[in-house]
Amino acid sequence: MGATRRRPRLVDARLLLLVIVVAAGSRGLVSGLFDDPALQTWSTIFVSITIQALPFLVLGVLLSGAVAALVPPGWLARALPRRAALAVPVAGLAGAALPGCECASVPIAARLRDRGVSTAAAFAFMLAAPAINPVVLVTTAVAFPGRPQMVVARFLGSLLTSVGVGLLWLRLGRESWIGRCRVRAAEGQNRWQSFGATVREDFLQAGGWLVVGAVAAASLQVFVPRSLLDLVAGNELLAAGCLGLLAVLLAICSEADAFVAASLRQFSLSARLVFLVVGPALDVKLIAMHTGIFGRRFALRFAPLTFGVAAASALLVGRWLL
């Protein structure tokens, strides 16, 4: 049985078109239904998270498609140090080169893995890229004027997290936990068709799960009053834990979380560092994308591991520098 070329099912496309047209046409009729201010606020936040992520996701899948289709197999594996334990920190540092939203890093890491990069190194890259790129460091410097140690602390904390998770995966991780199978390009295709197919596949998959994450983040933002925070600010360990959890639940883009952290004045700098280190590594948006791209078994294990390592790294660095 050779490879077959399939055209997208027109039935699916027509159904979608029908849904859209009906929705657009009925706007006038249903406008009264959606007037509730809570629903509108939720919708604003949901849409804004999705729209903000969209160009970065497209960039990410373009890059991941390029990795999958245009980079010769094995080249990447040879470019990294052979010893896995060394490849992890190198991959982590390489993350500094990719400015942009966390959403871009997940499809790229998946394709890196397909192309021969060790899983541990791919994860190190995935965790580091959203957290140590220049845009994030600059915004952190602006958000904490007069406190350059926050920038250094954030950089070190996130690098430590990415390397830590990568090395732990080397010791403890099992490939069997990763459940998704990747669609491979058909034989006889030229590189550009393969590129296009990969980009499309990655975008549709990652995009769908981004929506799941955005729904979760918007719901948590609207239904969890921020005044709860004032209660826990006193106790140091509790504060760190709560801010870490908040970072996961709020799913704020890594370019902007420095400003949110700066406004949480009732908390110590160390606790806020936990917020800044955990956020780009793990949040509901990312968990959704991990589930979609690597499988649920993986996400269930990866999430607590990352949270623990990130929080511990932040507390360690905070104790040392802040």
Partner 1 sequence: MLLTVGGMALWLGLSDATLSYVRAWLRLPLAASGVVLLALALATLRWGSGKEEEPAGHDHGHGDGGPRSAWLLVVPVLVLLLVAPPALGSYAASRRAPGAGGDPSGDFPALPEAVGGAVPLPVSEFVSRALYDRGQSLAGVRVRMLGFVTPADKPGEGYRLARFNFFCCAADATVYEVAVRGDSTPRRADQWLLVEGRWLPEPVAKATAPSTRRPVLIVDSATPVGPPADRYEHNLFAF
Binding mask 69-98 for partner 1 (x = CB under 8 A): ------------------------------
In this structure, what are the phi and psi dihedrals at residue 283, rounded to the nearest 5 degrees? Answer: -155, 175
Per CB under 8 A, the segment of 105-113, 156-164, 165-173, 197-205 that binds partner 1 is 197-205
- Select the residue interacting with partner 1 from 209, 275, 298, 307 (CB under 8 A): 209
Chain positions 265 to 294 lying near partner 1, rule: CB under 8 A, are 265-266, 292
Residues 241-260 that bind partner 1 (CB under 8 A): 250-253, 255-257, 259-260
- Judged by CB, which is closer to partner 1: 148, or 208? 208
Residues 6+ apart with CB under 8 A from 277: 131, 154, 157, 158, 161, 310, 311, 313, 314, 317
The nearest distance, CB 111 to partner 1, in angstroms, is: 15
Smaller CB separation from partner 1, 46 or 155: 46
Q: Which of 66, 180, 297, 308 binds partner 1 (CB under 8 A)?
A: 180
Token pair, residue 205, equals 């998959």
* 74 dihedral zone (left: phi>0; alpha: psi -120 to 50; beta): left
The nearer residue to partner 1, 157 or 213, going by C-beta atoms, is 213
Query: What x-and-dash track marks residues 213-232 binding partner 1 by CB under 8 A?
Result: -xx-xx--xx--xxx--x--
Residues 45, 218 contacting (CB under 8 angstroms): yes
Provide the minimum distance between the beta carbon of 273 and partner 1 in the complex, in angstroms, as a whole number. 16
Q: Which of residues 113-172 bind partner 1 (CB under 8 A)?
A: 139, 142-143, 145-147
Footprint of partner 1 on residues 35-74 (CB under 8 A)? 37-41, 43-52, 54-55, 58-59, 62
44-52 contacts, C-beta under 8 A, 24 or more apart:
45/217, 45/218, 45/221, 45/222, 46/214, 46/215, 46/217, 46/218, 49/213, 49/214, 49/217, 49/218, 49/251, 49/285, 50/210, 50/211, 50/214, 52/101, 52/253
